[in-house]
Chains A and B, each alone.
Chain A
Amino acid sequence: MRIELERRPSHSALFSVVSPFIALGLTVIAGAIMFNVLGKNPLDALYSFFIEPLTEVWSLHELAIKAAPLILIAVGLSVCFRSNNWNIGAEGQFIIGGVAGSIIPIVFHEWDSFLVLPAMLIMGIAGGALYAGIPALLKTRFNTNEILSSLMLVYVAQLFLDWIVRGPWRNPEGFNFPESREFDVEAILPELLPASGRADLGIIFAVVATLLTWFMMSYMLRGFQVSVLGQSARAGRFAGFSANRMVFFAFLFSGGLAGLAGISEVSGAIEQLQPVISPGYGFTAIIVAFLGRLNPLGIFAAGLILALTYLGGEAAQISIGLPDKIARVFQGLLLFFVLACDTLIHYRVRLKFATHSELAEEGA
């Protein structure tokens, strides 16, 4: 007996809606098994991981802080992925966006103006976009694999941030701690409801980016271009769309949003540069993008779910005494199950009892 995947004549509408939920369910089950093996009561552990963070107002604020960068990055990546370009380096673009946006508050910190914050955001977007432009240029000019080049540039960005924070940008009044100077008040992203928690404008950026991207993908010729070139480069050429220009558009768009997420995080949640400014948002956003079916609206929901795993990780550390790496395990499980369940959209699973001649054919 063997299990066989049989291609469906057309993709299943039912499973394209249901598969993310099946994946979530399987992740929870796998998580329960994991907690059990670690000697914790699975129900209690799942409660403190997934439910507890939602029961208090301040932690909802934290959820928004964690979700904003994930959603911003993932919305950008969804456009990139739908055009069949594989930007795996959003983490690096996030970091460079944060660094580029910090030039004003760190190097020109004497400048006080209401223009500081807008200028920082623009520079953050530009920084992320330009950094994403590198793999795009390499791909269009030299046919380099963008997956590898964009991924490797993440490490370059991480080490560059580490160097600049410990070196030229170290706070002169900071007792030699590896940190930049703290941002002045003009350079800090305002909080939404300062009375109840620290959520800032970042989540608003995420909402706006989600809606605009959804509009572009659904109604604009540009979005149509993305889908056509992503599904068939040849048909795209027949339509007169340039595949090379699309590579640049996809990378600059996703890099720009990652850069915006980066500077929002630095100026909103951290308020200075540190050697590490991201707990892997750029990689987690890939999971968010796929869990949200590469649809901006779905991504918004998926971003909230993945943000919860970050909070749950912290909660698990405090209330049940497990390392916060648990969050990474959950994220990994979730991506695995999402991709696996997506198979159901195009294939149906059959159990097959093979005859001898069929086995011979397999060997052919």
Chain B
Amino acid sequence: MATQEPGHGDCLLEVRGLTKIFGELRANDGIDLEIRSSEIHALLGENGAGKSTLVKMLFGSLEPTSGQIIWKDKPVVISSPGQARALGIGMVFQHFSLFEALTVAENIALSMDDDVSIENIAEQAAVLSREYGLPLDPNAHVADLSVGERQRIEIVRTLLQNPELIILDEPTSVLTPQEADKLFETLEKIRSEGRSVLYISHRLEEVQRICDRATVLRHGKLTGDCDPRAETPASLATMMVGSEVKSVSNTGGNITDQVLIETKQLSAPARTPFAVELKDIDLTVRAGEIIGIAGVAGNGQSELFDVLSGEETTDNAGDLRICGTDAGRMGISARRLLGAGFVPEERHGHAAVSSMSLSENMVLARHMSDASTFLTGGPLKIIRYDAVKNASERIIKEMDVRMSGVDPEASSLSGGNLQKFIVGRELDRKPSVIIVNQPTWGVDAGAASRIRQALIDLADAGSAVVVISQDLDEIFEVATSIAVINEGRLSEAEPASDMTLERIGLLMGGIHGEDSPVGDTEMEAAHAH
């Protein structure tokens, strides 16, 4: 980990002690960063590490809580994207902001600060796109273009502003390998002109291939500043996912032979262009077992959760067995009746309705499984709010949910407290199977450890637990076995005690080791998307 001396002559952008606090969460905590001219600088980190917060501050869409940004040796305050552009900072977002019904040139014109005629822009864009090897027809309608072509529009329109620093937010996450190769050529051309690129990614292979330096974030803190080419993927992964892995707290003393969740060769097609196809998922979870499913975001975690929970059903009933029953074609309520509980990743608008009270959110997940307590019998199905309120008070007490007022709206709770309530809502039923996606996403440390402990206790009591998480510390803390999901495929689960951080890092980054027990030889799985 080589550190650069500050005040270097060709330093384009320097950031000192940049901090951003949202409520209790330190999204960025004293970040130092230095970008020199004509370099491709990688910003590495897991989802939620604080990469986006950092670049939003650099691009003026967020205001730092404290710290300093120095642009060409002068301290600056960047208060708006317009100002960032005026300084010479351009940004290509991960999610495109393009109007599908308009042409390429019209879309570019919309983003220009000055009044320039469309013909003029079309001409400039055509010239630029040829120069940079980004073939683009300025008169084509965006709706007709591929994702890769749409990204070219974003890049060309950023280049038209003639920036000295271009920020690219996970540009290859939507590209095919061939498109990615083209993009890398363009980036090298940009560098050769003396411009710099801040390249945000969590794909280690790419970063090693094109980046000159890398800054690594984890949980909002700087954990590495290095030359990626001098590092191994494993050492980069360690910086990304943390080296302070605690010893495995539960060795899974009472795993029985009773299989509670079983999928065999479970496949599910992608339902939207941005969804991931699930391929041949084999997963077996026994009573007392906690399987941690690690993986970089967007590799099929939410698709896997949907299929396991029954929000999406599978074609064959036998694709998934819960507690010994073929459940593939059952909906979520029927699976709950089998004894399963589910905690999705998104709290607002998925696990809970934000504008409804906690007790109403109780009814949301348990109207079927607790029908005898929560509803009066008969066809009217009148909700017994007294019983519901009792149950939610029990959970609030059990999970130590802090809130203001009696039975407040879900939206008024902090993320950690709402998550405690949502997890508690399922645990209170003593489910024999629980599937949790990102159990402690955006949750403060106290709530996180409480939730993890609750999951461990549940498994000790003889339930099967699946934890899908991007946080490796969390996985090592709770899991008895660990599997890795990558490009919609799940590696074979291995005992947590045998898993090394390096091995998980490799499986996660899409670089499959030779000693892989699954025998993954198809390298295209590492690229394809």
Task: Give A188 to B372 CA distance when docked, in angstroms.
Answer: 46
Stretch at the interface among A14-22, A55-63, A105-113, A234-242: A234-242
Report B-chain residues with C-beta under 8 Å of the C-beta of A222.
381
Decide if A364 is an interface residue (CB 8 Å cutoff): yes
Stretch at the interface among A76-84, A117-125, A254-262, A353-361: A353-361
Report A-chain residues with C-beta under 8 Å of the C-beta of B360.
224
Q: How does the 8 Å CB contact mask read for B350-362 relative to A, with 1 for contact and 0 for none? A: 1111111000100
**Residue of B with least CB distance to A216:** B380
Decide if B83 is an interface residue (CB 8 Å cutoff): yes
Contact A231 B355 (CB under 8 A): yes
In the complex, chain B residues 269-283 whose Cβ is within 8 Å of any chain A Cβ? none
Contact check: which of B83, B331, B342 meets A360 at CB < 8 Å? B83
A221 in contact with B353 given A238-B332, A238-B364 (CB within 8 Å): no
Contact B79 A237 (CB under 8 A): no
What is the distance, in angstroms, from B374's C-beta to the closest C-beta of chain A? 9
**Residue of A with least CB distance to B364:** A239
Report A-chain residues with C-beta under 8 Å of the C-beta of B380.
220
Contact B381 A363 (CB under 8 A): no
Decide if B82 is an interface residue (CB 8 Å cutoff): yes
**Residue of A with least CB distance to B335:** A240
Task: Give A130 to B383 CA distance when docked, in angstroms.
Answer: 30
What is the distance, in angstroms, from B305's C-beta to the closest C-beta of chain A? 11
Contact B355 A238 (CB under 8 A): no
What is the distance, in angstroms, from A192's C-beta to the closest C-beta of chain B? 29
Report A-chain residues with C-beta under 8 Å of the C-beta of B350.
232, 234-235, 238
Contact A363 B353 (CB under 8 A): no
Q: How does the 8 Å CB contact mask read for B55-86 relative to A, with 1 for contact and 0 for none? A: 00000100000000000000000011111011
Task: Give A239 to B422 CA distance when docked, in angstroms.
Answer: 13
Task: Give A228 to B81 CA distance when docked, in angstroms.
Answer: 37
Task: Give A326 to B412 CA distance when docked, in angstroms.
Answer: 46
What is the distance, in angstroms, from A213's C-beta to the closest C-beta of chain B? 14
In the complex, chain A residues 190-239 whose Cβ is within 8 Å of any chain B Cβ? 219-222, 224, 227-228, 231-232, 234-235, 237-239
Decide if A10 is an interface residue (CB 8 Å cutoff): yes
**Residue of B with least CB distance to A355:** B79
Tell me how many residues of A have a C-beta within 8 Å of chain B. 23
Decide if B409 is an interface residue (CB 8 Å cutoff): yes
Among A219, A222, A235, A363, residue most surrounded by chain B Cβ atoms (within 10 Å): A235
Contact B364 A235 (CB under 8 A): yes
Task: Give A221 to B385 CA distance when docked, in angstroms.
Answer: 11
Among B365, B367, B409, residue most surrounded by chain A Cβ atoms (within 10 Å): B367
Task: Give A221 to B86 CA distance when docked, in angstroms.
Answer: 56
Contact B383 A221 (CB under 8 A): yes
**Residue of A with least CB distance to B366:** A239
Task: Give A11 to B411 CA distance when docked, in angstroms.
Answer: 11
Decide if B420 is an interface residue (CB 8 Å cutoff): no
Contact check: which of A232, A237, A239 meets B367 at CB < 8 Å? A239
What is the distance, in angstroms, from A294's C-beta to the closest C-beta of chain B? 14
What is the distance, in angstroms, from A236's C-beta to the closest C-beta of chain B? 9
Task: Give A364 to B354 CA distance when docked, in angstroms.
Answer: 31
Contact check: which of A10, A224, A239 meets B411 at CB < 8 Å? A10
Report A-chain residues with C-beta under 8 Å of the C-beta of B363.
221, 224
Contact B81 A361 (CB under 8 A): yes
Report B-chain residues with C-beta under 8 Å of the C-beta of A358.
80
Contact A220 B344 (CB under 8 A): no
Contact B113 A221 (CB under 8 A): no
Q: How does the 8 Å CB contact mask read for B238-263 relative to A, with 1 for contact and 0 for none? A: 00000000000000000000000000
**Residue of B with least CB distance to A360:** B82
**Residue of A with least CB distance to B311:** A237
Task: Give A239 to B342 CA distance when docked, in angstroms.
Answer: 10
Report B-chain residues with C-beta under 8 Å of the C-beta of A220.
380-383
What is the distance, in angstroms, from A224's C-beta to the closest C-beta of chain B? 6
Task: Give A219 to B380 CA distance when docked, in angstroms.
Answer: 9
Q: How does the 8 Å CB contact mask read for B71-109 relative to A, with 1 for contact and 0 for none? A: 000000001111101100000000000000000000000
Report A-chain residues with C-beta under 8 Å of the C-beta of B356.
227-228, 231
Decide if B375 is an interface residue (CB 8 Å cutoff): yes
Report A-chain residues with C-beta under 8 Å of the C-beta of B309.
238
What is the distance, in angstroms, from A324's C-beta to the closest C-beta of chain B? 41
A364 in contact with B82 given A10-B409, A10-B412, A231-B353 (CB within 8 Å): yes
A357 in contact with B411 given A238-B350, A240-B331 (CB within 8 Å): no
Report B-chain residues with C-beta under 8 Å of the C-beta of A10.
409, 411-412
Contact A357 B80 (CB under 8 A): yes
Task: Give A137 to B81 CA distance when docked, in angstroms.
Answer: 46
Contact B375 A221 (CB under 8 A): yes
Report A-chain residues with C-beta under 8 Å of the C-beta of B83.
357, 360-361
- Knowing that A232-B354, A240-B334, A361-B83 are A-B contacts, what are 10 other residue pairs whose CB atoms are under 8 Å apart, sorted by A's residue number? A219-B383, A228-B356, A232-B349, A235-B349, A238-B350, A239-B332, A239-B333, A240-B310, A360-B82, A363-B113
- Return 14 A-B CB contacts under 8 Å, by A number: A221-B382, A224-B363, A235-B349, A235-B351, A238-B309, A238-B332, A238-B364, A239-B333, A240-B331, A240-B332, A240-B334, A357-B83, A364-B81, A364-B82
The 7 closest A-B pairs by CB, nearest first: A240-B333, A361-B80, A360-B82, A221-B381, A232-B349, A364-B81, A240-B332
